[in-house]
């Protein structure tokens, strides 16, 4: 989320804390908005296309931190259990 917030204009809620107590818990800023999955079926094709165009624009803003390398977002090595 930090990478997305730092490298794009996508509005991302601020993370306050994360902890594990038998389950993982993520405490973050509240954003008063409806979830897209609850709205999608009631939207027109033009509205859907507008959203997809916006997301495409956001994704095009992203550039890998070390082009040509396969690595975790923080630059550390990846573990592939396969």
CA atoms within 13 A on the CB side of 49: 3
- Rounded to an integer, the average pLDDT of 51-76 is 82
pTM: 0.56
- Rounded to an integer, the average pLDDT of 38-54 is 94
C-alpha–C-alpha distance, residues 77 and 39, integer Å: 39
How many residues would you count in the chain?
82
First to last CA, the chain: 26
Place of tokens 């859907």: 48
Residue 68 DSSP one-character state: T
Q: Is the pLDDT of residue 74 over 80?
A: no
- Rounded to an integer, the average pLDDT of 34-58 is 91
Give me 68's structure tokens: 């040509």
pLDDT value for 79: 73
């Amino acid at each position: 989320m930090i990478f997305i917030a730092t490298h794009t204009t996508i509005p991302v809620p601020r993370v306050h804390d994360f902890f594990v107590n038998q389950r993982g818990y993520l405490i973050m800023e509240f954003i008063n908005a409806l979830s897209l999955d609850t709205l999608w079926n009631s939207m027109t094709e033009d509205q859907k296309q507008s959203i997809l165009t916006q997301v495409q624009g956001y994704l095009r803003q992203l550039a890998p931190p070390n082009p040509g390398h396969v690595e975790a977002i923080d630059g550390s090595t990846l573990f592939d259990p396969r």
